[in-house]
Amino acid sequence: MEINKSIRNKLAFFHLTPETIAQSRHNLFEEIHSIVFHGNGGYDWNTIYNMPIWLRKFTAHKMNEYYNPEKDETNTGENKTLINEEGKIKIPDFVSEAHHKKTSYK
């Protein structure tokens, strides 16, 4: 598809080329989806689409800050199991500490 020169110049002003338009739209819709999905019902698609770009990017950034550390904790790569090498159940620290403390109520 041939794009005339005036449209190409307008797109170039926004650093868009015919080759990058599809990727830019995809990124936009990914960002909107992410905010709506992770917003837990606080945002609807139309609100995010019509939101000022700076505010949408800020919102997406804050959501990424919140959800990414949570994801990193769950994907540490460590094998978290309660069974030791001998096949016996390991007692978690919080259980063993509570078991050894004396109660103060009577």
Angle, to 10 degrees, between the axis of helix 21-38 and the axis of helix 53-74? 70
Percent of the chain with pLDDT over 90: 21
By the 8 A CB rule, do 21 and 28 touch? no
pLDDT < 50 stretches in the chain? none
By the 8 A CB rule, do 17 and 11 touch? yes
Evaluate if pTM is beyond 0.85: no
pLDDT for position 58: 93
Domain spans in the chain, listed from the N-terminal domain onward: 5-76
